Structure 1
Amino acid sequence: MSLSFIEALHLNALDELKRIPKSDLHSHAGRGGNISYIEAWSGAKIEPPGRPFDSLRDMQAWFESNIKIHCRGLQGYLKRIEASFAQAHADRIEVLALSFGLDEISALGGMKTFMGIIDELHRCFAPGTSFFPELSLGRESRIEDILIEMDEVLAYRWFASIDICNDEFAQPIRHFKPIYQMAKAAGLKLRAHVGEFGTPDDVQEAVEELELDEVHHGIAAARSVTVMNWLADHHIRLNVCPTSNILLRLADSYASHPLRKLYDYGVLVTINTDDLLIFNQSVSQEYLNLYQSGLMTAEELDHIRETGLGYVGSLHKHH
C-alpha cells in the first residue's frame, strides 16, 4: 500500500515521497542532475558544497572546479543533460521545465540538431515526464545579439517559455521588452529571474514591464505587503528554490524561509531545485526540509505540489 504525500511527510519517508508525482519548474538544464549520477559516470568523488556561497560568481567557481572539471567538452555537457532527465525520472517529476541558453544551441550545431538531441535524451531517460523547454537569456546579454537569433529559435516552436537569469543588476529589465514581445507573440510563457537579490519593487516592475506570467525566485516580494497583495491579485506565480536561497545567503534557514509569508498572503508558489548539481537537494528533499523545519504543514505542502502539477494544462507538452 503506497502512502499519500501527506502521510509520507508525516513519516519522513523520503523513498515514498520519490514515488509521488511532483513538478520542477525552475531547473537549469546542465545543472539539474544528481551529484551521485556524475560520480558514477566519471569515477570521481564529488563533495557537495560545505558552506554557503558569497555570490553567484563564487557559486559558479565551485561548479567549475567540482562538477564541470569531470564533465568536459560536449560529451560532458550531454552527460549533465542526461543526468537532469534521469533525476526527473528518479524523483517522479511529472512536469519538468529545463532552461537552456543560446550558447548551448550553438554548441550543438544549431536549433534543429539541438532539438533532436535533447528530445532523444528526454525520450530515453524520462519518458513519463512532460517536458517544457525554457529559453534562458543572460541578464548581461546584448539585446541586439539576442534579437538576431530569436526569429530562427522561435520559428521551430520548440520552447515553451522564456527566462532571464544571472546578475539581476547587469542592466534594466525593460531592455528585454522587444524580446519578450516576440516571445509573447510566439505563445511562450513569460518568466524571469527577479527579486532573488533585488527588491520587492523590482519584482512588480519586471512583471509589469515584460508582462510576465511567472517569476523565478521573487522571494524579495515577502518584504512588501503591497507587492505580495499585488502578486496575489494578479495570480503571478513564484517558482521558489529554498535550498538555493539558503546557500546563496538569501534566507537564513528552512524554518525562516520567506515562502511562509508569501503563502500566507495568497501568493501562488511552487517548490523547485534551481541547480541540483550544486545545491544537492531533490524536489522530494526540498519538501521534506520545509516540513521538518516546521515552516509549512503537510497539507500546505501538498497544496503547493498540486499547484505545480496543475501547470500542465496551460502549456503545450513535448512528448
Structure 2
Amino acid sequence: MNDKFEMYLQENSLKGLESIPKSDLHSHAGRGGSITYIEQLANVKITPPSEPFNSLKEMNQWLNDNVKCYCPGFSGYLKRVEAAFVQAKNDNIAVLALSFAIDEIDACGTIDNFISIMDGLHKKFAPETEFLPDLAVGYEPGEQSKLDEIFSANWFRGIDICNYSRCYSMNELKKICQKSRDSKLILKAHIGEFGGADDVMRYAEELELNQIQHGIAAANSPQIMKWLAKHKIQLNVCPTSNIMLRNSLNYQSHQIRKLFDFGVPVTINSDDLIIFNATVSQEYLNLYNAGLMTADELNTIRLTGLNEVNNYA
C-alpha cells in the first residue's frame, strides 16, 4: 500500500490516490462534502472561489450565497452532512473526524435524535469508515449548560474548541476541557490558524490539548515547535484552507514543511471541502507537485493520520 501511494503521487494520479486509505481529522460536518455532490443534488452549477478570502465572514458569505441557498433549512443541512459521508467513501477516508456544533444538535430536537440521524447517515453512506465525531464548542455563550447532557450520551469522541469569537475566558475553557477529559474525550482546539506561535503554546499548555486544529503559526518559533514535538501534540493541518484564508502564501512554502522537519506530528486534512474544493487526495498531490515534500514524507504523514484511531479510548 505504501509503495502504491508513493507511485500514484509520482504518476500524478488523483484517481490512484483516491484508492489508498487516508484520514481526514479536521472536517466540519456541514461543509465536508464536495461541490459536485451539491450540484448534482440541486441540478445547478457552482463555481468554486477563485481568489483567497479576506476574512472568515467573507468565506461564510460565499457559502451562504453559493451553496446553502441551494440546500436550505434543516433538510438542506442533512444533505450537506450526507455529502460529507459520501465524500469519505469516495476518497477512501478510513478514519474520519467530523465536528458538529451544539446548534446542530439542537436542530435535531434532542441528543438522541441527533445521534440516531448521524449514525444512520454514517451507516448508509460510509459504513467502512471509522467515524470519530467531535463536539465543536465556542460558537455561542451558554453552551456549557448543555455539556452534561451531551457527554452523558457517550457518543462524541473528541471536543474541538473554536474560541475565535472570544465568548469564553481561558478559565472557562479549562473547565470545559476538564469536563471533556473526565468524559475521556480527545482535546482539540482551533488555534494558530490566525494569531501567533505564542497563542498555540498558551492554548496547548494551559488546556493540556492532545491535538491542535491548524497550528501553523507555531512554525514561526523553533522553541515552540520543539516543545510540540517533545510533547507529541499533533497538528491537523489543512493546506488549501490556509492558502484560501491568507494564512499561507502557497503550497511551495506552506508551514507544514518546517513543522515536519522539527518533528511535530502532522496530518493533512480538508477543513471545509465544500468551500475550498480540495479533497484529502488532492491536498497530498498539491504538496507533492509543489516540490514541498517527498512521496515518502507524505506517506509518513498519511500513516500518522491512520494511526490516530489508536489514541481514542
Provide TM-score, normalisation by structure 1: 0.96
Deviations 1:39-98 (A, max 9, x none): 000011100001100011110010110010011111100000000000000000000000
Structure 1 Cα separation of the partners of residues 286 and 167 of structure 2: 33
Per-residue deviation, 1:101: 0.5
Return the match for 1:216 from 213, 219, 222.
Answer: 213
Alignment map for 1:259-274 (pairs within 5 Å): 259-274=256-271
| Amino acid of the structure 2 residue aligned with 1:92 | N
| Amino acid of the structure 2 residue aligned with 1:23 | S
Per-residue deviation, 1:167: 2.1
| Amino acid of the structure 2 residue aligned with 1:279 | F
Q: Are 1:141 and 2:140 counterparts?
A: yes
Contact 1:174 / 1:209 at 8 angstroms: preserved in 2? no
Q: Which runs of 5+ in 1 are unaligned?
A: none
Return the match for 2:277 from 276, 280, 290.
Answer: 280
Per-residue deviation, 1:173: 3.9
Identify if the C-alpha distance between structure 1 residues 41 and 150 changes in structure 2 by more than 3 Å, giving closer, same or farther. same
Structure 2 Cα separation of the partners of residues 255 and 170 of structure 1: 36
Contact 1:221 / 1:228 at 8 angstroms: preserved in 2? yes
Per-residue deviation, 1:314: 1.7
Identity of aligned residues (%): 53
Structure 2 Cα separation of the partners of residues 141 and 68 of structure 1: 21
Alignment map for 1:231-242 (pairs within 5 Å): 231-242=228-239
Identify if the C-alpha distance between structure 1 residues 171 and 2 changes in structure 2 by more than 3 Å, giving closer, same or farther. closer
Alignment map for 1:155-166 (pairs within 5 Å): 155-165=152-162
Deviations 1:152-199 (A, max 9, x none): 000000000001226265654443111111000000000000011011
Deviations 1:182-232 (A, max 9, x none): 000000000000011011111111011111000000000000001000000
Alignment-derived partner of residue 123 in structure 2: 123
Provide TM-score, normalisation by structure 2: 0.97
Per-residue deviation, 1:312: 1.2
SS of 1:136's equivalent? strand
Structure 1 Cα separation of the partners of residues 169 and 201 of structure 2: 13
Structure 2 Cα separation of the partners of residues 28 and 226 of structure 1: 31
Q: Are 1:64 and 2:61 counterparts?
A: no
Identify if the C-alpha distance between structure 1 residues 265 and 174 changes in structure 2 by more than 3 Å, giving closer, same or farther. farther
Structure 2 Cα separation of the partners of residues 163 and 313 of structure 1: 18
Q: Are 1:75 and 2:72 counterparts?
A: no
Structure 1 Cα separation of the partners of residues 19 and 146 of structure 2: 40
Q: Are 1:308 and 2:305 counterparts?
A: yes
Q: Report the count of equivalent residues.
A: 313
Structure 2 Cα separation of the partners of residues 112 and 263 of structure 1: 41
Contact 1:168 / 1:194 at 8 angstroms: preserved in 2? no
Q: Are 1:114 and 2:118 counterparts?
A: no
- For the aligned residues, what is the CA RMSD? 1.4
Q: Are 1:8 and 2:8 counterparts?
A: yes
Structure 2 Cα separation of the partners of residues 299 and 307 of structure 1: 13
Alignment-derived partner of residue 289 in structure 1: 286
Structure 2 Cα separation of the partners of residues 40 and 243 of structure 1: 24
| Amino acid of the structure 2 residue aligned with 1:19 | S
| Amino acid of the structure 1 residue aligned with 2:140 | S
Return the match for 1:201 from 189, 198, 201.
Answer: 198
Structure 2 Cα separation of the partners of residues 9 and 174 of structure 1: 45
Q: Which runs of 5+ in 2 are unaligned?
A: none
Contact 2:48 / 2:275 at 8 angstroms: preserved in 1? yes
Identify if the C-alpha distance between structure 1 residues 166 and 84 changes in structure 2 by more than 3 Å, giving closer, same or farther. farther
Contact 2:28 / 2:99 at 8 angstroms: preserved in 1? yes
Per-residue deviation, 1:151: 0.4
Q: Are 1:19 and 2:19 counterparts?
A: yes
Identify if the C-alpha distance between structure 1 residues 173 and 288 changes in structure 2 by more than 3 Å, giving closer, same or farther. farther
Contact 2:2 / 2:299 at 8 angstroms: preserved in 1? no
Identify the range of structure 1 (160-169 vs 258-267) with the bigger mean alpha-carbon deviation. 160-169
Structure 2 Cα separation of the partners of residues 252 and 314 of structure 1: 32
Alignment-derived partner of residue 105 in structure 1: 105
Contact 1:218 / 1:240 at 8 angstroms: preserved in 2? yes
Contact 2:22 / 2:95 at 8 angstroms: preserved in 1? yes
SS of 1:135's equivalent? strand
Alignment-derived partner of residue 94 in structure 1: 94
Return the match for 1:176 from 173, 177, 184.
Answer: 173
Structure 1 Cα separation of the partners of residues 37 and 170 of structure 2: 36
Per-residue deviation, 1:99: 0.2
